[in-house]
Amino acid sequence: MDYGEILGIRKLITTAEAQRFPELMLQDRVPEEGIEGDLAEWDIEYVNKVLQNNFVSRDAKAKPSQFEKLGHKTANCLHSFFFNHVPAGKLRLLRQPGTERERNARAWITRLQRDMRRRHGALVDEWMLWEALKGSLTAAYEGVNVAIDYEIPTTHKPTASASWATTTTDIFADIETWSQLIVEDSGRMPTTMFFNSSVLPYLYKNDLVKSYLASTNVGTQIVQDGRVSRLFGLNLVQWDAAYVNGSGTTTKFIPDNMVLIVPDFSEDWIQMLRGEVVIPTEDGEDFQYVREGWYTEVTRNPVGMHLYYKTCRIPALKVPAAVVYADVIP
């Protein structure tokens, strides 16, 4: 039997591209771009605030323009390459078209592929993006820890003027100061503040916030929805998702008592750069380069097929000053 209808390279890639993971926050927010090879490069933009208002007469010579200062970053895309085994018993069920067994076998293979792509692809992508937004990414690369500094300015990693756990703290003043940092240093307007549930009580118990909630219909929204979606000119996004590392430790993507303020996600300030990986062609006679690769290989011990998945990528933070990552409990 030809298994190409479900296990062929083209079918595997098409199936994977359609998979979404609602529990992951950034997969559909951060733009993605494919690059040639697996060496990523990007420029780092710094806002030039010098006003060039030296006017000239109509027939004067042109004046030289000073090019905007740019930084430059180079990093190898981080590769993931994993396989899982499809037992011969499952493959045998595919030889019974139109039966319940065949449908169950197809569903099992689709779940297997989805699990591989989530754990080794989408979940890792999510972790990498949050680490970049917090300022640095450290990963084991061929057994050696590699650290990438995303050069977020020190002033964009502030602490609150006073603990947000104190109800009299002027939370609005902190957020206004941090938002202004983004406007002045990146030229972009912040729109969203991310945090986990540890921060929410500080907002609702704050004297200034309580006064505001009592005087508007936002208080009703909290009673109905259990949350408020907008405050202090920013969209509020509470997110408590976590990952489990190799040693079994559970870690939230956004740590307790931290807030992350950013503009709308767009390719001009942040991207996920996805490099090329090499896989066999459909007929197995040659090889090809793709962004996310899937293929199978018949195995003898144990008998069946290995299903392979490989990808490589790296986040590119082009405007580090577009981010404020703040500690609200100094």
Pairing between β-strand 70-76 and β-strand 39-45 as defined by DSSP bridges: antiparallel
- pLDDT given for residue 231 in this prediction: 87
Query: Average pLDDT, stretch 59-88?
Result: 87
Q: Which range (81-95, 184-198, 207-221) has the least confidence?
A: 207-221
Residue 225 has pLDDT above 70, yes or no: no
Residue 271 has pLDDT above 80, yes or no: yes
Beta strands in the chain (DSSP E): 32-34, 39-45, 70-76, 78-87, 136-141, 144-149, 192-195, 230-231, 234-238, 242-244, 250-252, 258-262, 270-274, 277-280, 287-290, 292-300, 303-317, 324-327
Q: Which range (9-13, 113-117, 182-186, 310-314) has the least confidence?
A: 9-13
pLDDT band at 61 (very low <50, low <70, confident <90, very high): confident
The chain-wide mean pLDDT, for the chain, equals 91
Strand, coil or helix: 324: strand
Handedness of CA 259, 265, 268, 274 (dihedral sign): positive
Name all domains of the chain by residue range, CATH numbers in brackets: 4-48+72-149+270-316 (3.15.30), 155-265+321-327 (3.30.1930.10)
* Radius of gyration of the CA atoms of the chain, in A: 25
pLDDT in tens, 15-51: 888 888 988 999 889 999 999 999 999 999 887 777 7
- pLDDT given for residue 22 in this prediction: 86
Left (φ > 0), alpha (ψ -120 to 50) or beta: where does 101 sit?
Answer: alpha
pLDDT in tens, 161-213: 999 999 999 999 999 999 999 999 999 999 999 999 999 999 989 998 888 77
Strand, coil or helix: 206: coil
Residue 1 has pLDDT above 60, yes or no: no
